[in-house]
Amino acid sequence: MPSALLSRLRFIALPVAAWLALPTLAGLLVAIMLGPQAGAAVSAALLTVGVPLLWLALRPRLSDRPESEGSRTAGDVLASQLHRQRDELRVLTRRLMTAQEDERTSLSRELHDDIGQAITAIKLCASSLQHEPDPPRTAVVQETAQEIADIADQTVAKLRDLSLLLRPPQLDALGLEAALRWQAGAMFRAESPRLTLDITRLDRRPHHAIELACFRIAQEALTNVLRHARARHVLLRLECDDDELRLHVGDDGRGLPPGHATGLGLITMRERAEQLGGTLSITSQPGNTRVDVRLPLQTLPDAPH
């Protein structure tokens, strides 16, 4: 018997049984007291009145089932809309990341080529002032020129660091391993926390989109360690086989606080992994926080480049 029919019989069986039993019981009581004919008359009267009342009582219940089916259909439609909107959001996020990486590349090039050259020119002009032939002003001019040259050197160094941070040339020229080593060395110059690198030499370079995603995830994870973890030891591990690239960042810091709200950085890390068909997992407790990333080497959707 179909499950829908069983369900319908289940919610109408009790009312029907009650309405049929009531006239029968009433007829038996009347027959005992007044005789069989009176009992039969009472039963017939109650049935005559009860059948219409029974229909009125059951009609709302009978109409409940189609409404339930309709509401389930509306729920399916809503779920389909949510799924479609989630897919659209992923596409928009992918485009946003692509635009962000393109803008970083352009900004890095402009910082290095244009502003860097302009500051170098200022430094050359300052150096020429140091050879001012007017004796009374020589000391003042040389001191001022030296200050300008020092400021120019500091600014050029800061611009170089910013340019490298926006788009490290090692990633394009030398690959993921060299870029990770450079990034880790630049961030962990101090003695504490102590960084351990376990970077396996890759037999072949992954697709550029995979390299970029892995580098950005590692960059964000290491930044979080320096800002929040208060760790003493940090481990960065990179390994690869024929199927996937695996990244691990672990520390012995204080871990994520209870009820920690997921920030934009963690959301972006997860989105970078998932849009390449990979996974990102974060486990945290005091003294042991782990970020593990798995990126498949074969699936290469349209990702930021």
| pLDDT tens string 108-117 | 766 667 777 7
- Cβ–Cβ < 8 Å for 295, 213: yes
In a domain? residue 298:
yes
Q: Residue 57: what pLDDT?
A: 52
Q: Calculate the average pLDDT of the chain.
A: 75
Radius of gyration (Cα) for the chain, nearest Å? 38
Structural domains of the chain, count:
2
In a domain, 243, yes or no: yes
CATH code at position 218: 3.30.565.10
Q: How far apart are CA 97 and CA 216, in angstroms?
A: 11
Residue 72's domain comprises 3-89
Whether 50 and 179 share a structural domain? no
| 99 domain-assigned | no
Q: Which of 50, 74, 89 is the last residue of a domain?
A: 89
Question: pLDDT grade, residue 287 (50/70/90)?
Answer: very high
The model's pLDDT over 126-182, given as tens digits with 9 standing for 90+, comes to: 777 766 666 556 677 777 778 888 888 888 887 777 777 777 788 888 899 999 999
Residue 201 lies in a domain: yes
Domain stops at, among 69, 89, 109: 89
CA quadruple 14, 20, 22, 28: dihedral positive or negative? negative
Cα-Cα-Cα-Cα dihedral sign, residues 38, 39, 42, 47? negative
Q: Is the pLDDT of residue 234 over 70?
A: yes
Higher pLDDT, 201 or 99: 201
In the predicted structure, residue 80 carries a pLDDT above the cut 60? yes
Residue 154 lies in a domain: no
The answer to the question of residue 125 being in a domain is no
Is residue 137 in a domain?
no
- Do 176 and 66 lie in one domain? The reply is no
Shared-domain flag, residues 204 and 303: yes
Q: How far apart are CA 122 and CA 124, in angstroms?
A: 5
pLDDT tens, position by position, 20-78? 555 565 555 545 555 555 555 545 555 555 555 445 554 554 444 444 545 567 778 78
